[in-house]
């Protein structure tokens, strides 16, 4: 009973009644105290001061009529106000009740619950929209978590099964514990280690509280560092790596280590999908009109089918699972690229004309302001 009478609807009705009661008292006092005096002044101005009886009768008639009119007006306004307040209170309490029910379901893990926009004003509508957005985010997070756990289990299953099979073969005397066997074991252990490191890296990159040690730096220095770090791997794979940088390109505000990781992942990804004799080109482009600087990594290797392009930045997504697994890819490198690029307020996209026609991945970073006093300069400049 206490909850019922302390509810929002009851409070609105009671509050409205109190306001109307006070207004009625003010109206009655005004009509009784001010009205007769003003009426008497008008009667005297009309020349009726010489007939006291008529003047008194007119004042009494005015007072009676005024009292009845005020009473009827107050009563009607009170009835109308109470009806309106009850209807409004029911809508408001109904909307809040729906929100409470939805929040309770969400707290129990039912993330597909949504509430209707009540159209009771911007505040109520914003609360409903915020709740629906929260539900969408929680549902997406749960879906991503389930997929991540399934993908991790899938990625670990193959190397663990292989290691187990090799060890059982050694125990049964079918296989000798020689250099080749140890090399195979180490290969799969390296794969598990690399997977754990990649999962840790993408978790850090996707952390909304990721701290960036930014400075105003030149894109050519970032590209030179990435090319220098990848040179040996490209030489061993007999793939040509070319860099192209315009004479004048705006600087960017970036964390050199993080963007270096982005470019390194893009070059590693391109190398995995090329063969000896192929070419990979990394180039910078000045897009002053959009206030951006773009860096592209293009190869003439395997290419990507159109249906895969929207998904290649998803965690553990592989265009060809068997091929990527053999090439050592975990399917996380491009996810790290996307997360770190977005952390710099940039964008990333992929393009390919199809299988066998190579692929181009482009990251776009905001150009640094002409005179930026809030970011430290790159000491190498």
41 falls in which pLDDT band (50, 70, 90)?
low
Once rounded to an integer, what is the mean pLDDT over residues 328-348?
82
Q: Rounded to an integer, what distance in angstroms lies between the CA atom of residue 285 and that of residue 334? A: 21
Higher confidence at residue 138 or residue 265? 265
Condensed to tens digits (0 to 9), the pLDDT of residues 95-123 reads: 777 888 888 887 877 777 788 787 777 77
227 falls in which pLDDT band (50, 70, 90)?
very high
Sequence ranges of the domains in the chain = 2-110, 141-205, 214-377
pLDDT at 181 > cutoff 80? yes
Please tell me the predicted confidence (pLDDT) of residue 8: 60
Q: Rounded to an integer, what distance in angstroms lies between the CA atom of residue 299 and that of residue 320? A: 17
Whole-prediction pTM = 0.57
pLDDT at 328 > cutoff 50? no
Same fold, 141-205 and 214-377: no
Higher confidence at residue 378 or residue 262? 262
Please tell me the predicted confidence (pLDDT) of residue 283: 93
Spatial contact of 358 and 303, defined as CB atoms under 8 Å apart: yes
Once rounded to an integer, what is the mean pLDDT over residues 7-26?
72
Beta-strand runs (E) in 300-354 = 347-351
Range 214-377: architecture per CATH: 2-Layer Sandwich (3.30)
Beta-strand runs (E) in the chain = 214-217, 240-244, 252-255, 279-287, 292-299, 347-351, 359-366, 376-377
131 falls in which pLDDT band (50, 70, 90)?
confident
pLDDT at 24 > cutoff 50? yes
pLDDT at 80 > cutoff 50? yes
Spatial contact of 280 and 274, defined as CB atoms under 8 Å apart: yes
pLDDT at 174 > cutoff 60? yes
Instruction: Classify 363 as helix, strand or coil.
Output: strand
325 falls in which pLDDT band (50, 70, 90)?
very low
Spatial contact of 344 and 258, defined as CB atoms under 8 Å apart: yes
Give the tokens for residue 278: 């192929």
Which residues does 215 contact at the CB level (< 8 Å), separation at least 6? 253, 254, 255, 256, 375, 376, 377, 378
- Helix (H) or strand (E) segment spanning residue 74: helix 52-107
- CATH fold of 141-205 reads Helix Hairpins (1.10.287)
Residue 319: which of 352, 282, 348, 295 has the closest Cα?
352
In the predicted model, what is the mean pLDDT of the chain? 78
Condensed to tens digits (0 to 9), the pLDDT of residues 144-155 reads: 777 777 777 777
């Amino acid at each position: 009973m206490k909850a019922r009478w302390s509810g929002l609807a009851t409070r609105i009705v009671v509050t409205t009644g109190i306001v109307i009661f006070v207004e009625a008292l003010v109206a009655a006092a005004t009509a009784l105290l001010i009205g007769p005096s003003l009426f008497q002044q008008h009667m005297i101005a009309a020349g009726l001061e010489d007939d006291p009886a008529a003047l008194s009768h007119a004042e009494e008639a005015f007072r009676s009529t005024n009292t009845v009119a005020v009473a009827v007006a107050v009563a009607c306004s009170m009835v109308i106000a109470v009806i309106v307040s009850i209807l409004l209170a029911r809508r408001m309490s109904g909307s809040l009740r729906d929100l409470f029910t939805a929040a309770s379901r969400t707290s129990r893990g039912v993330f597909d619950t949504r509430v209707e926009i009540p159209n009771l004003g911007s505040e109520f509508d914003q609360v409903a929209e915020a709740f629906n957005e929260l539900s969408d985010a929680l549902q997406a997070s749960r879906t991503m978590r389930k997929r991540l756990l399934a993908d991790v289990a899938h990625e670990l299953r193959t190397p663990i099964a292989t290691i187990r099979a090799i060890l059982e073969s050694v125990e049964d005397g079918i296989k000798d514990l020689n250099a080749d066997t140890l090399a195979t074991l180490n290969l799969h252990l390296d794969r598990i280690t690399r997977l754990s490191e990649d999962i840790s890296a993408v978790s850090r990159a996707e952390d909304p509280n990721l701290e960036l040690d930014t400075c105003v730096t030149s894109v050519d220095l970032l590209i030179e560092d990435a090319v220098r770090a990848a040179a040996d791997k490209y030489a061993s794979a007999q793939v040509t790596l070319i860099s192209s940088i315009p004479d004048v390109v705006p600087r960017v505000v970036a964390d050199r280590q993080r963007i270096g990781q982005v470019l390194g992942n893009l070059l590693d990804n391109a190398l995995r999908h090329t063969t000896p004799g192929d070419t990979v080109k990394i180039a910078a482009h000045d897009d002053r009109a959009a206030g951006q600087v773009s860096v592209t990594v293009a190869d003439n290797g395997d290419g990507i089918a159109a249906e895969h392009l929207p998904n290649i930045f998803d965690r553990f997504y592989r265009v060809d699972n068997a091929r990527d697994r053999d090439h050592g890819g975990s399917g996380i490198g491009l996810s790290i690229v996307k997360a770190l690029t977005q952390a710099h307020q940039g964008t990333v996209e992929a393009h390919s004309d199809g299988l066998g026609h190579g692929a181009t991945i482009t990251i776009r970073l905001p150009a640094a302001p002409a005179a930026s006093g809030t970011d430290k300069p790159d000491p190498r400049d």
